[in-house]
Amino acid sequence: MNAPVLDPVKLAAELIRRPSVTPAEAGVLDTLSAALEMIGFTCRRMPFQQQGTERVDNLYAKFTQPGADRQNKPRHFCFAGHVDVVPVGKREAWSIDPFGGEIVNGRLYGRGAADMKGAVAAFSAAAGRFLAKRGNAFSGSISLLITGDEEGPAYNGTKPMLETLAAEGETWDACLVGEPTNPQKLGEMAKIGRRGSFTGYLRIRGIQGHTAYPHLADNPIHRLSKMIAALTETPLDRGTEHFQPTSLQFTTVDVGNPASNVIPGEVLATFNARFNDSFTIRSFEAEIRRRLDDVGGEYDLTIGSSSESFLTPVGRLSEIVSEAIARELGRAPELSTTGGTSDARFIKDYCPVIEFGLAGQTMHKVDENVPVADIQALSRIYETVLEAFFDDQPR
């Protein structure tokens, strides 16, 4: 097969020039589809719109070598990522056009350069080079699962895509998500799992009254302070083999009381916890309620968005990725579970998944940028991953 070759840096710049701030598509999927179709992929748009949300367009692109069939048990490798980006914030704070895709002093600038249009371009180009090199000797499938709803609520993206495709009989053997996993420089870290996320909304009810007559009132702020101490002063756990200790942070406390001489009747507070594999969502909620009950008094706890922790055990997939990084950069990555959530939390229910992408120093920041050399090196790493995966015998 004489597949054209994609330039990952040029493609990344073209993707950046499409202002695809969640949930806007802004032509970014058209640009990516055109590039992928040029190297032999079949592209399918997959829009979703849950009730009460805006429609989001997603893309599933797949290459299957003619002649590959289930009888021959061809292997299927998936790259996953997102092309939606966060808002730019104050435009005047940027030194360049946030959607210009400009290269300055060897660095590609623009919203999404690091998170994660650079990686999407890198694995697209890697797939193209791999197919051009293998030609008809390749037997198997490569797919790209691309969402426009990762930076948003994630209701209309990866999760319904996977559910729909699986219902149609699609299966995957392994997946690599191109999130920016490296803290400082390319090759430092790959993610083999993520902590769970748990958001709680507390409403503590008291009795309103005059500050000069506190015995006639019940101050819910004072009780909240004890509840905060109960949830934060004693560690929830000490961490596990692959996970940090669970962290719980209060993010808002709201009373809405304009008077300095009135004890309020209720107080609202919000907290978010990132928990490890010591807990499930259910067991974590039980521990939170136990600690709140120990403080006592009337309260309501409502659970907001949450996701389970997960771990892909160290094995052949992490070996392949680590070896590819070492071959290209001469360093072995730390296999970590740090950071926030990602769409890998959905993919892990369908196949082994690992995350590796660019450095995240500038993601979501003003003047987001990455070195051009890192995009090129990342694309070569992805190509090496494909070579090793399809040369490897299933274990």
Query: In whole angstroms, what is the distance from residue 45 CA to residue 386 CA?
Result: 24
Q: Contact at 8 Å (CB) between 191 and 179? A: yes
Contact 249, 237 (CB under 8 A): no
pLDDT at residue 198 in the model? 96
Q: In the prediction, which pLDDT does 66 show? A: 67
Q: 196 is written with which tokens?
A: 């769970």
Task: Give the other-Cβ count within 10 Å of 163's Cβ.
Answer: 14
What does the domain layout of the chain look like in residue ranges?
8-194+309-391, 196-307
d(CA 10, CA 118): 10
Burial zone of 275 (CB within 10 Å; 0-12 exposed, 13-18 middle, 19+ buried): buried
Q: 84, 277, 343, 368: which is the annotated catalytic residue?
A: 84
Catalytic residue among 149, 150, 218, 328: 150
- pLDDT tens digits, one per residue of 334-360: 999 998 889 999 999 999 999 999 999
Among 35, 130, 119, which residue's Cα sits nearest to residue 77? 130
What secondary structure does DSSP assign to 180-217, as a single string?
--BSSSTTSEEESEE-EEEEEEEEEE-B-EETT-GGGS
**Distance, CA of 17 to CA of 121 (rounded, Å):** 13
Query: Helices 8-16 and 372-391, interaxial angle, to 10°?
Result: 120
Which residue reads 């769970």 in tokens?
Answer: 196
Tell me the whole-structure pTM to 2 decimals: 0.90
> Is 179 marked as binding a ligand?
yes
Residues of the chain short of pLDDT 50, as ranges, are: 1, 69-70, 395
Q: Is 364 annotated as a binding residue?
A: yes
| DSSP code string of 265-334 | SEEEEEEEEEE-TT--HHHHHHHHHHHHHHH-S-EEEEEEEEE--EE--SSHHHHHHHHHHHHHHS-PPE
Instruction: Determine if residue 54 is labeled as part of a ligand binding site.
Output: no
187's torsion region: left (phi>0), alpha (psi -120 to 50) or beta?
left
150 classed as catalytic: yes
- Helices 281-295 and 220-232: crossing angle in degrees, nearest 10, is 130
At residue 348, the 3 state secondary structure works out as: coil
Tokens linked to 223: 């009780």
321 vs 317: CA distance, rounded Å: 6
The per-residue DSSP string of 61-87 comes to EEEE-TT--GGG--EEEEEEEE--B--
Q: What is the pLDDT of residue 65?
A: 81
Cite the DSSP H helix spans in 88-176: 118-134, 158-167
**What pLDDT digit, counting tens, does each position of 80-123 carry?**
999 999 999 999 999 999 999 999 999 999 999 999 999 999 99
Q: Kindly state the percentage of the chain with pLDDT values over 90.
A: 92
Of residues 24, 64, 57, the one with CA closest to residue 40: 64
Give CATH for domain 8-194+309-391.
Answer: 3.40.630.10
Of the CATH numbers 3.40.50.2000, 3.40.50.2300, 3.60.10.10, 3.30.70.360, which one belongs to the domain with range 196-307?
Answer: 3.30.70.360
What per-residue confidence (pLDDT) applies to 74? 85
Looking at residue 93, its pLDDT comes to: 97
